[in-house]
Chains A and B, each alone.
With several copies, the nearest count.
Chain A
Protein backbone atom coordinates (compact mmCIF):
# COMPACT_ATOMS: atom_id res chain seq x y z
CA UNK A 1 0.00 0.00 0.00
CA UNK A 2 1.39 3.34 -0.97
CA UNK A 3 0.43 6.79 0.32
CA UNK A 4 2.30 9.41 -1.65
CA UNK A 5 5.96 8.65 -1.01
CA UNK A 6 5.07 6.50 1.99
CA UNK A 7 4.87 2.73 1.93
CA UNK A 8 2.21 1.91 4.50
CA UNK A 9 3.16 -1.74 4.81
CA UNK A 10 6.66 -0.76 5.64
CA UNK A 11 5.42 1.71 8.21
CA UNK A 12 3.37 -1.03 9.85
CA UNK A 13 6.48 -3.16 9.91
CA UNK A 14 8.60 -0.59 11.72
CA UNK A 15 5.82 0.64 13.99
CA UNK A 16 6.44 -1.82 16.86
CA UNK A 17 10.06 -0.75 17.11
CA UNK A 18 9.15 2.93 17.03
CA UNK A 19 6.43 2.41 19.61
CA UNK A 20 8.92 0.75 21.90
CA UNK A 21 11.09 3.83 21.48
CA UNK A 22 8.13 6.11 22.16
CA UNK A 23 7.37 4.24 25.38
CA UNK A 24 10.94 4.87 26.50
CA UNK A 25 10.57 8.55 25.54
CA UNK A 26 7.46 8.79 27.68
CA UNK A 27 9.13 7.00 30.56
CA UNK A 28 12.13 9.32 30.42
CA UNK A 29 9.93 12.38 30.16
CA UNK A 30 7.84 11.27 33.10
CA UNK A 31 10.82 10.78 35.37
CA UNK A 32 12.45 13.97 34.16
CA UNK A 33 9.29 15.92 34.94
CA UNK A 34 8.91 14.48 38.42
CA UNK A 35 12.53 14.91 39.48
CA UNK A 36 12.99 18.11 37.50
CA UNK A 37 10.05 19.69 39.29
CA UNK A 38 11.34 18.58 42.68
CA UNK A 39 14.80 19.94 41.93
CA UNK A 40 13.28 23.11 40.48
CA UNK A 41 11.15 23.68 43.57
CA UNK A 42 14.05 23.34 45.97
CA UNK A 43 16.39 25.44 43.88
CA UNK A 44 13.73 28.12 43.51
CA UNK A 45 13.23 28.18 47.27
CA UNK A 46 17.00 28.34 47.73
CA UNK A 47 17.27 31.25 45.34
CA UNK A 48 14.68 33.34 47.19
CA UNK A 49 15.74 32.25 50.67
CA UNK A 50 17.41 34.54 53.14
CA UNK A 51 20.52 32.38 53.36
CA UNK A 52 23.24 33.78 51.18
CA UNK A 53 25.11 30.55 50.50
CA UNK A 54 21.90 28.85 49.33
CA UNK A 55 21.11 31.75 47.02
CA UNK A 56 24.62 31.58 45.64
CA UNK A 57 24.52 27.83 45.09
CA UNK A 58 21.14 28.08 43.42
CA UNK A 59 22.44 30.82 41.17
CA UNK A 60 25.53 28.82 40.26
CA UNK A 61 23.42 25.81 39.41
CA UNK A 62 21.02 27.60 37.11
CA UNK A 63 23.83 29.58 35.52
CA UNK A 64 25.95 26.56 34.62
CA UNK A 65 23.14 24.26 33.59
CA UNK A 66 21.39 26.85 31.45
CA UNK A 67 24.67 27.93 29.91
CA UNK A 68 25.87 24.59 28.59
CA UNK A 69 24.20 22.40 25.96
CA UNK A 70 22.40 19.35 27.31
CA UNK A 71 24.38 17.20 24.87
CA UNK A 72 27.56 18.15 26.64
CA UNK A 73 26.02 17.62 30.06
CA UNK A 74 24.95 14.14 29.09
CA UNK A 75 28.44 13.33 27.81
CA UNK A 76 29.87 14.58 31.04
CA UNK A 77 27.50 12.54 33.20
CA UNK A 78 27.97 9.41 31.15
CA UNK A 79 31.71 9.40 30.44
CA UNK A 80 33.12 12.09 32.64
CA UNK A 81 31.66 10.84 35.92
CA UNK A 82 32.56 7.29 35.00
CA UNK A 83 36.20 8.23 34.63
CA UNK A 84 35.97 9.75 38.07
CA UNK A 85 34.79 6.37 39.29
CA UNK A 86 31.03 6.95 39.31
CA UNK A 87 29.65 4.56 36.75
CA UNK A 88 25.97 5.14 36.11
CA UNK A 89 23.55 3.20 33.94
CA UNK A 90 22.30 4.77 30.72
CA UNK A 91 18.80 5.13 32.06
CA UNK A 92 20.03 6.70 35.27
CA UNK A 93 22.23 9.12 33.35
CA UNK A 94 19.38 10.00 31.02
CA UNK A 95 16.99 10.68 33.89
CA UNK A 96 19.57 12.61 35.90
CA UNK A 97 20.64 14.63 32.86
CA UNK A 98 17.13 15.55 31.85
CA UNK A 99 16.01 16.25 35.43
CA UNK A 100 19.01 18.37 36.29
CA UNK A 101 18.64 20.33 33.08
CA UNK A 102 14.87 20.66 33.37
CA UNK A 103 15.26 21.51 37.05
CA UNK A 104 17.29 24.62 36.24
CA UNK A 105 14.59 25.95 33.94
CA UNK A 106 11.77 24.91 36.24
CA UNK A 107 13.54 26.64 39.13
CA UNK A 108 13.46 29.91 37.20
CA UNK A 109 9.81 29.39 36.35
CA UNK A 110 8.84 28.66 39.93
CA UNK A 111 10.92 31.54 41.24
CA UNK A 112 9.27 33.97 38.85
CA UNK A 113 5.87 32.53 39.83
CA UNK A 114 6.55 33.01 43.53
CA UNK A 115 7.94 36.52 43.05
CA UNK A 116 4.84 37.45 41.06
CA UNK A 117 2.70 36.84 44.16
CA UNK A 118 2.03 40.07 46.03
CA UNK A 119 4.40 40.54 48.97
CA UNK A 120 1.41 41.27 51.15
CA UNK A 121 0.35 37.64 50.95
CA UNK A 122 3.49 36.45 52.68
CA UNK A 123 3.19 39.20 55.27
CA UNK A 124 -0.43 38.40 55.97
CA UNK A 125 0.45 34.72 56.42
CA UNK A 126 3.43 35.45 58.69
CA UNK A 127 1.45 37.95 60.75
CA UNK A 128 -1.09 35.20 61.45
CA UNK A 129 1.69 33.20 63.06
CA UNK A 130 2.44 30.84 60.20
CA UNK A 131 5.99 29.65 59.77
CA UNK A 132 7.78 30.45 56.51
CA UNK A 133 7.22 26.96 55.20
CA UNK A 134 3.55 26.95 56.21
CA UNK A 135 3.10 30.26 54.43
CA UNK A 136 4.79 28.84 51.32
CA UNK A 137 2.75 25.68 51.31
CA UNK A 138 -0.65 27.10 52.25
CA UNK A 139 -0.58 30.58 50.74
CA UNK A 140 2.17 31.30 48.21
CA UNK A 141 2.60 28.07 46.26
CA UNK A 142 -1.13 27.44 45.71
CA UNK A 143 -1.39 30.89 44.17
CA UNK A 144 1.81 30.57 42.17
CA UNK A 145 0.63 27.18 40.96
CA UNK A 146 -1.85 28.54 38.46
CA UNK A 147 0.53 31.07 37.00
CA UNK A 148 3.11 28.32 36.69
CA UNK A 149 0.97 26.06 34.59
CA UNK A 150 1.54 27.61 31.14
CA UNK A 151 5.33 27.93 31.36
CA UNK A 152 5.56 24.53 33.05
CA UNK A 153 3.57 22.98 30.24
CA UNK A 154 6.04 24.43 27.76
CA UNK A 155 8.97 23.19 29.78
CA UNK A 156 7.55 19.69 29.95
CA UNK A 157 7.20 19.60 26.20
CA UNK A 158 10.76 20.82 25.89
CA UNK A 159 11.84 17.98 28.15
CA UNK A 160 9.99 15.48 26.01
CA UNK A 161 11.76 16.75 22.94
CA UNK A 162 15.10 17.03 24.68
CA UNK A 163 14.82 13.39 25.61
CA UNK A 164 15.77 12.81 21.97
CA UNK A 165 19.29 13.86 22.91
CA UNK A 166 19.89 10.90 25.17
CA UNK A 167 20.42 8.94 22.00
CA UNK A 168 24.06 10.05 22.29
CA UNK A 169 24.44 7.87 25.36
CA UNK A 170 22.96 4.86 23.63
CA UNK A 171 19.50 5.04 25.17
CA UNK A 172 17.07 3.67 22.63
CA UNK A 173 14.19 6.10 22.81
CA UNK A 174 12.07 7.17 19.86
CA UNK A 175 14.75 9.22 18.13
CA UNK A 176 17.38 6.56 18.31
CA UNK A 177 14.91 3.84 17.46
CA UNK A 178 14.32 5.79 14.27
CA UNK A 179 18.05 6.19 13.62
CA UNK A 180 18.68 2.49 14.15
CA UNK A 181 15.84 1.50 11.86
CA UNK A 182 17.14 3.89 9.29
CA UNK A 183 20.53 2.28 9.54
CA UNK A 184 19.10 -1.14 9.03
CA UNK A 185 16.76 -0.30 6.19
CA UNK A 186 18.12 2.84 4.55
CA UNK A 187 14.59 4.19 4.19
CA UNK A 188 14.58 7.51 6.00
CA UNK A 189 11.37 8.95 4.61
CA UNK A 190 8.86 6.61 6.18
CA UNK A 191 10.85 6.28 9.37
CA UNK A 192 11.39 9.96 10.08
CA UNK A 193 7.88 10.95 9.04
CA UNK A 194 6.41 8.32 11.35
CA UNK A 195 8.69 9.26 14.22
CA UNK A 196 7.90 12.93 13.66
CA UNK A 197 4.17 12.25 13.77
CA UNK A 198 4.60 10.26 16.96
CA UNK A 199 6.44 13.13 18.61
CA UNK A 200 3.81 15.54 17.40
CA UNK A 201 1.08 13.35 18.82
CA UNK A 202 2.77 13.05 22.18
CA UNK A 203 3.45 16.77 22.51
CA UNK A 204 -0.06 17.61 21.36
CA UNK A 205 -1.67 15.28 23.88
CA UNK A 206 0.47 16.95 26.51
CA UNK A 207 -0.48 20.45 25.44
CA UNK A 208 -4.13 19.51 25.44
CA UNK A 209 -3.98 18.07 28.93
CA UNK A 210 -2.30 21.21 30.19
CA UNK A 211 -4.81 23.50 28.50
CA UNK A 212 -7.64 21.54 30.13
CA UNK A 213 -5.97 21.69 33.51
CA UNK A 214 -5.49 25.41 33.17
CA UNK A 215 -9.08 25.98 32.25
CA UNK A 216 -10.33 23.76 35.07
CA UNK A 217 -8.23 25.67 37.57
CA UNK A 218 -9.46 28.98 36.20
CA UNK A 219 -13.04 27.91 36.88
CA UNK A 220 -12.52 26.41 40.30
CA UNK A 221 -10.89 29.57 41.53
CA UNK A 222 -13.87 31.87 41.63
CA UNK A 223 -12.55 34.49 39.28
Chain B
Protein backbone atom coordinates (compact mmCIF):
# COMPACT_ATOMS: atom_id res chain seq x y z
CA UNK B 1 0.00 0.00 0.00
CA UNK B 2 2.64 2.55 1.08
CA UNK B 3 6.37 2.19 1.06
CA UNK B 4 9.00 4.66 2.25
CA UNK B 5 12.56 4.07 1.18
CA UNK B 6 15.46 5.75 2.90
CA UNK B 7 13.60 9.03 3.38
CA UNK B 8 15.77 11.94 4.47
CA UNK B 9 14.58 15.38 5.45
CA UNK B 10 16.31 18.40 6.96
CA UNK B 11 15.02 21.72 8.25
CA UNK B 12 17.91 24.05 7.66
CA UNK B 13 20.88 22.39 9.32
CA UNK B 14 18.79 20.06 11.45
CA UNK B 15 18.40 16.64 9.89
CA UNK B 16 15.04 15.39 11.17
CA UNK B 17 14.71 12.17 9.17
CA UNK B 18 17.94 10.25 8.70
CA UNK B 19 16.92 7.58 6.26
CA UNK B 20 13.56 6.12 7.25
CA UNK B 21 12.25 3.03 5.46
CA UNK B 22 8.87 1.52 6.23
CA UNK B 23 6.41 -0.59 4.31
CA UNK B 24 2.76 -0.81 5.27
CA UNK B 25 0.57 -3.50 3.72
CA UNK B 26 -3.09 -3.23 2.81
CA UNK B 27 -5.22 -3.48 5.94
CA UNK B 28 -2.32 -3.19 8.29
CA UNK B 29 -2.37 -0.87 11.32
CA UNK B 30 1.04 0.53 12.15
CA UNK B 31 1.55 2.56 15.30
CA UNK B 32 4.58 4.82 15.52
CA UNK B 33 5.85 5.69 18.97
CA UNK B 34 8.89 7.58 20.10
CA UNK B 35 10.06 10.55 22.12
CA UNK B 36 9.14 14.11 21.25
CA UNK B 37 11.17 15.55 18.40
CA UNK B 38 12.10 12.14 16.99
CA UNK B 39 10.55 13.00 13.62
CA UNK B 40 7.26 11.07 13.84
CA UNK B 41 5.08 13.92 12.66
CA UNK B 42 7.53 14.90 9.97
CA UNK B 43 7.58 11.37 8.63
CA UNK B 44 3.80 11.24 8.51
CA UNK B 45 3.70 14.57 6.71
CA UNK B 46 6.23 13.32 4.17
CA UNK B 47 3.91 10.46 3.27
CA UNK B 48 1.30 12.80 1.83
CA UNK B 49 3.87 15.40 0.86
CA UNK B 50 2.86 18.12 3.25
CA UNK B 51 6.64 18.24 3.63
CA UNK B 52 8.87 17.67 0.64
CA UNK B 53 11.63 15.11 1.15
CA UNK B 54 15.29 15.73 0.45
CA UNK B 55 16.07 12.27 -0.86
CA UNK B 56 14.61 8.81 -0.91
CA UNK B 57 11.26 7.61 -2.16
CA UNK B 58 7.71 7.44 -0.93
CA UNK B 59 5.54 5.11 -2.98
CA UNK B 60 1.82 5.05 -2.36
CA UNK B 61 -0.32 2.58 -4.23
CA UNK B 62 2.45 2.08 -6.76
CA UNK B 63 2.85 5.81 -7.44
CA UNK B 64 5.67 8.05 -6.19
CA UNK B 65 4.48 10.78 -3.82
CA UNK B 66 5.67 14.33 -4.26
CA UNK B 67 9.16 13.51 -5.38
CA UNK B 68 10.62 10.58 -7.21
CA UNK B 69 14.27 9.69 -7.21
CA UNK B 70 15.79 9.31 -10.65
CA UNK B 71 18.50 6.78 -11.50
CA UNK B 72 21.19 9.44 -11.01
CA UNK B 73 20.02 10.06 -7.44
CA UNK B 74 18.39 13.41 -8.23
CA UNK B 75 14.83 14.01 -7.14
CA UNK B 76 12.11 15.41 -9.41
CA UNK B 77 8.84 16.95 -8.28
CA UNK B 78 5.56 15.22 -9.04
CA UNK B 79 3.13 17.69 -10.61
CA UNK B 80 0.29 19.58 -8.86
CA UNK B 81 -2.79 17.79 -10.19
CA UNK B 82 -1.28 14.38 -9.76
CA UNK B 83 -0.24 15.28 -6.23
CA UNK B 84 -3.72 16.46 -5.27
CA UNK B 85 -5.15 13.26 -6.70
CA UNK B 86 -2.74 11.24 -4.57
CA UNK B 87 -3.41 13.23 -1.44
CA UNK B 88 -7.15 12.81 -1.87
CA UNK B 89 -6.67 9.08 -1.38
CA UNK B 90 -4.75 9.51 1.87
CA UNK B 91 -6.76 10.74 4.83
CA UNK B 92 -4.98 12.69 7.52
CA UNK B 93 -6.17 13.56 11.00
CA UNK B 94 -4.22 16.18 12.90
CA UNK B 95 -3.49 16.62 16.54
CA UNK B 96 -5.29 19.97 16.59
CA UNK B 97 -8.29 18.79 14.49
CA UNK B 98 -8.03 21.70 12.03
CA UNK B 99 -11.71 21.71 11.29
CA UNK B 100 -12.86 24.58 9.08
CA UNK B 101 -14.44 26.93 11.61
CA UNK B 102 -16.66 28.70 9.07
CA UNK B 103 -18.49 25.49 8.10
CA UNK B 104 -20.81 23.30 10.10
CA UNK B 105 -19.82 19.75 10.96
CA UNK B 106 -21.78 18.61 7.94
CA UNK B 107 -20.14 21.27 5.76
CA UNK B 108 -16.72 20.13 6.88
CA UNK B 109 -17.44 16.55 5.90
CA UNK B 110 -19.08 17.51 2.59
CA UNK B 111 -16.28 19.86 1.58
CA UNK B 112 -13.85 17.28 0.20
CA UNK B 113 -16.32 15.24 -1.87
CA UNK B 114 -17.82 18.40 -3.37
CA UNK B 115 -14.70 20.49 -3.99
CA UNK B 116 -12.10 17.82 -4.68
CA UNK B 117 -14.08 14.90 -6.05
CA UNK B 118 -16.72 17.05 -7.74
CA UNK B 119 -19.66 15.15 -6.33
CA UNK B 120 -23.11 16.69 -6.23
CA UNK B 121 -24.17 18.39 -3.00
CA UNK B 122 -26.98 15.90 -2.69
CA UNK B 123 -24.72 12.91 -2.83
CA UNK B 124 -22.11 14.51 -0.59
CA UNK B 125 -24.74 15.33 2.01
CA UNK B 126 -25.92 11.75 2.15
CA UNK B 127 -22.42 10.45 2.56
CA UNK B 128 -21.61 13.05 5.18
CA UNK B 129 -24.68 12.28 7.24
CA UNK B 130 -23.84 8.62 7.12
CA UNK B 131 -20.28 9.25 8.28
CA UNK B 132 -21.32 11.59 11.06
CA UNK B 133 -23.68 8.90 12.28
CA UNK B 134 -20.85 6.42 12.14
CA UNK B 135 -18.69 8.56 14.47
CA UNK B 136 -21.71 9.08 16.70
CA UNK B 137 -22.46 12.69 15.81
CA UNK B 138 -25.62 12.45 13.72
CA UNK B 139 -27.23 15.06 15.94
CA UNK B 140 -24.38 17.54 15.62
CA UNK B 141 -24.48 17.94 11.85
CA UNK B 142 -25.53 21.57 12.01
CA UNK B 143 -23.17 22.59 14.79
CA UNK B 144 -20.16 24.73 14.11
CA UNK B 145 -16.77 23.49 15.38
CA UNK B 146 -16.73 26.15 18.07
CA UNK B 147 -19.88 24.59 19.49
CA UNK B 148 -18.37 21.13 19.80
CA UNK B 149 -16.14 19.59 22.45
CA UNK B 150 -12.60 18.60 21.53
CA UNK B 151 -13.53 14.95 21.23
CA UNK B 152 -16.48 15.74 19.04
CA UNK B 153 -14.34 17.97 16.85
CA UNK B 154 -11.79 15.22 16.39
CA UNK B 155 -14.49 12.75 15.42
CA UNK B 156 -15.78 15.21 12.82
CA UNK B 157 -12.21 15.47 11.55
CA UNK B 158 -12.07 11.70 11.19
CA UNK B 159 -15.41 11.70 9.35
CA UNK B 160 -14.08 14.45 7.10
CA UNK B 161 -11.07 12.36 6.21
CA UNK B 162 -13.19 9.26 5.65
CA UNK B 163 -15.49 11.17 3.29
CA UNK B 164 -12.75 11.04 0.67
CA UNK B 165 -12.89 7.24 0.86
CA UNK B 166 -9.17 7.07 1.50
CA UNK B 167 -7.12 3.92 1.09
CA UNK B 168 -4.80 4.96 3.88
CA UNK B 169 -5.40 6.98 7.03
CA UNK B 170 -2.70 8.90 8.86
CA UNK B 171 -3.29 9.91 12.48
CA UNK B 172 -0.90 12.33 14.16
CA UNK B 173 -1.47 12.10 17.91
CA UNK B 174 -5.23 12.31 17.43
CA UNK B 175 -5.97 12.49 21.16
CA UNK B 176 -3.11 14.48 22.65
CA UNK B 177 -4.98 17.79 22.50
CA UNK B 178 -7.98 16.33 24.29
CA UNK B 179 -9.04 16.47 27.90
CA UNK B 180 -8.54 13.00 29.40
CA UNK B 181 -12.24 12.26 29.65
CA UNK B 182 -12.69 12.88 25.91
CA UNK B 183 -9.89 10.61 24.71
CA UNK B 184 -11.92 7.44 24.86
CA UNK B 185 -14.60 8.43 22.35
CA UNK B 186 -12.01 9.21 19.68
CA UNK B 187 -9.97 6.07 20.27
CA UNK B 188 -13.07 3.94 20.02
CA UNK B 189 -13.83 5.41 16.58
CA UNK B 190 -10.31 4.59 15.43
CA UNK B 191 -10.58 1.07 16.82
CA UNK B 192 -13.76 0.54 14.82
CA UNK B 193 -11.97 1.70 11.69
CA UNK B 194 -9.19 -0.79 12.35
CA UNK B 195 -11.66 -3.58 12.77
CA UNK B 196 -13.17 -2.67 9.38
CA UNK B 197 -9.81 -3.27 7.76
CA UNK B 198 -8.67 0.32 7.09
CA UNK B 199 -4.96 0.69 6.47
CA UNK B 200 -3.63 3.13 9.05
CA UNK B 201 -0.47 4.73 10.35
CA UNK B 202 -0.99 6.17 13.80
CA UNK B 203 1.36 8.28 15.84
CA UNK B 204 0.28 8.17 19.46
CA UNK B 205 1.43 8.40 23.03
CA UNK B 206 -1.43 6.23 24.25
CA UNK B 207 0.51 3.02 24.83
CA UNK B 208 -2.47 0.98 25.96
CA UNK B 209 -4.29 1.91 22.81
CA UNK B 210 -1.23 1.12 20.68
CA UNK B 211 -1.02 -2.29 22.25
CA UNK B 212 -4.64 -2.98 21.54
CA UNK B 213 -4.99 -1.75 17.99
CA UNK B 214 -1.57 -2.12 16.32
CA UNK B 215 -0.58 -4.92 14.00
CA UNK B 216 2.90 -3.58 14.15
CA UNK B 217 4.59 -1.04 16.42
CA UNK B 218 7.45 1.13 15.16
CA UNK B 219 9.76 2.90 17.58
CA UNK B 220 11.45 6.00 16.22
CA UNK B 221 14.19 8.04 17.83
CA UNK B 222 16.33 10.88 16.49
CA UNK B 223 15.06 10.55 12.93
CA UNK B 224 15.57 6.81 12.63
CA UNK B 225 13.46 3.72 13.05
CA UNK B 226 15.12 1.93 15.93
CA UNK B 227 12.94 -1.09 16.26
CA UNK B 228 9.85 -2.67 14.69
CA UNK B 229 7.75 -5.55 15.95
CA UNK B 230 4.38 -6.79 17.15
CA UNK B 231 2.94 -4.93 20.11
CA UNK B 232 3.61 -7.91 22.39
CA UNK B 233 7.21 -8.04 21.40
CA UNK B 234 7.87 -4.30 21.63
CA UNK B 235 6.05 -3.75 24.90
CA UNK B 236 7.17 -6.89 26.69
CA UNK B 237 10.60 -7.74 25.24
CA UNK B 238 12.04 -4.66 23.53
CA UNK B 239 15.41 -5.51 22.05
CA UNK B 240 17.01 -2.11 21.83
CA UNK B 241 18.07 -0.34 25.05
CA UNK B 242 16.65 2.98 23.82
CA UNK B 243 13.26 1.40 23.30
CA UNK B 244 13.38 -0.04 26.81
CA UNK B 245 14.33 3.30 28.24
CA UNK B 246 11.54 5.13 26.40
CA UNK B 247 8.91 2.59 27.31
CA UNK B 248 9.85 2.48 30.94
CA UNK B 249 9.60 6.26 31.19
CA UNK B 250 6.29 6.36 29.37
CA UNK B 251 4.71 3.35 31.04
CA UNK B 252 5.47 4.67 34.48
CA UNK B 253 2.98 7.44 33.68
CA UNK B 254 0.73 4.97 31.92
CA UNK B 255 0.35 2.64 34.86
CA UNK B 256 -0.72 5.45 37.14
CA UNK B 257 -3.43 6.83 34.85
CA UNK B 258 -4.78 4.05 32.67
CA UNK B 259 -6.12 5.13 29.30
CA UNK B 260 -9.89 5.24 29.34
CA UNK B 261 -11.65 2.05 28.44
CA UNK B 262 -13.15 2.25 24.96
CA UNK B 263 -15.61 0.40 22.84
Question: A149 CB to closest chain B CB, in angstroms?
Answer: 14
Contacts A129-B85, A134-B115, A222-B144 given; does A123 touch B98 at CB 8 Å? yes
Bound together, the chains give a CA A83 to CA B240 distance in angstroms of 79
Q: Mark contacts of A104-143 with chain B using CB atoms, 8 A cut-off: 1 yes-contact digit, 0 otherwise.
A: 0000000000000010110111111111101000110011
Contacts A127-B48, A129-B112 given; does A222 touch B146 at CB 8 Å? yes
Is the beta-carbon distance between A121 and B98 smaller than 8 angstroms? yes
Bound together, the chains give a CA A120 to CA B154 distance in angstroms of 14
State which of B29-37, B87-95, B213-221, B245-253 sits at the interface with chain A.
B87-95
> Smallest CB-CB separation from B85: which chain A residue?
A129
Is the beta-carbon distance between A223 and B101 smaller than 8 angstroms? yes
Is the beta-carbon distance between B92 and A130 smaller than 8 angstroms? no
Residues from chain B with a CB closer than 8 A to the CB of A120 are: 94, 96, 98
Residues from chain A with a CB closer than 8 A to the CB of B98 are: 118, 120-121, 123-124
Is the beta-carbon distance between A221 and B85 smaller than 8 angstroms? no
Residues from chain A with a CB closer than 8 A to the CB of B143 are: 222
Chain B residues 62-113 with CB under 8 Å of chain A are 80-81, 84-92, 94, 96, 98-102, 104, 111-112
CB of B190 within 8 Å of the partner chain: no
| Inter-chain contact total with CB atoms closer than 8 Å | 71
Bound together, the chains give a CA A195 to CA B186 distance in angstroms of 64
Contacts A128-B160, A129-B87, A131-B80 given; does A139 touch B50 at CB 8 Å? no
Residues from chain B with a CB closer than 8 A to the CB of A143 are: 100-102
Bound together, the chains give a CA A221 to CA B146 distance in angstroms of 10
Is the beta-carbon distance between B115 and A127 smaller than 8 angstroms? no
Question: A105 CB to closest chain B CB, in angstroms?
Answer: 25
CB of B58 within 8 Å of the partner chain: no
Residues from chain B with a CB closer than 8 A to the CB of A139 are: 100
Is the beta-carbon distance between B102 and A221 smaller than 8 angstroms? yes
Bound together, the chains give a CA A132 to CA B80 distance in angstroms of 9
Contacts A121-B98, A124-B100, A223-B101 given; does A129 touch B144 at CB 8 Å? no
Residues from chain A with a CB closer than 8 A to the CB of B157 are: 124
Contacts A121-B100, A134-B115 given; does A127 touch B84 at CB 8 Å? no
Bound together, the chains give a CA A51 to CA B173 distance in angstroms of 33
Q: Mark contacts of B40-70 with chain A using CB atoms, 8 A cut-off: 1 yes-contact digit, 0 otherwise.
A: 0000000010100000000000000000000
CB of B164 within 8 Å of the partner chain: yes
Q: Mark contacts of B105-126 with chain A using CB atoms, 8 A cut-off: 1 yes-contact digit, 0 otherwise.
A: 0000001100110000000000
CB of B237 within 8 Å of the partner chain: no
> Smallest CB-CB separation from B45: which chain A residue?
A123
Is the beta-carbon distance between B94 and A138 smaller than 8 angstroms? no
Is the beta-carbon distance between A134 and B50 smaller than 8 angstroms? no
CB of B261 within 8 Å of the partner chain: no
Contacts A143-B102, A222-B147, A223-B146 given; does A128 touch B94 at CB 8 Å? no
Chain B residues 176-199 with CB under 8 Å of chain A are none
Residues from chain B with a CB closer than 8 A to the CB of A223 are: 101, 144, 146-147
Bound together, the chains give a CA A72 to CA B174 distance in angstroms of 56
The 9 A-B pairs with the shortest beta carbon distances in the complex, nearest first, are: A129-B88, A222-B144, A124-B98, A223-B146, A120-B98, A127-B92, A129-B116, A129-B87, A128-B112
Interface residues of A (CB under 8 A from B): 118, 120-121, 123-132, 134, 138-139, 142-143, 221-223
18 contacts between A and B (CB under 8 A): A118-B98, A120-B98, A124-B94, A124-B98, A127-B48, A127-B87, A128-B88, A128-B111, A128-B112, A129-B84, A129-B89, A129-B164, A132-B80, A138-B115, A143-B100, A221-B144, A222-B147, A223-B101
Given A128-B112, A139-B100, A222-B144, 12 other A-B residues pairs in contact with their CB atoms under 8 A: A120-B98, A121-B98, A124-B100, A126-B87, A127-B50, A128-B116, A129-B112, A129-B116, A130-B112, A132-B80, A142-B102, A223-B146
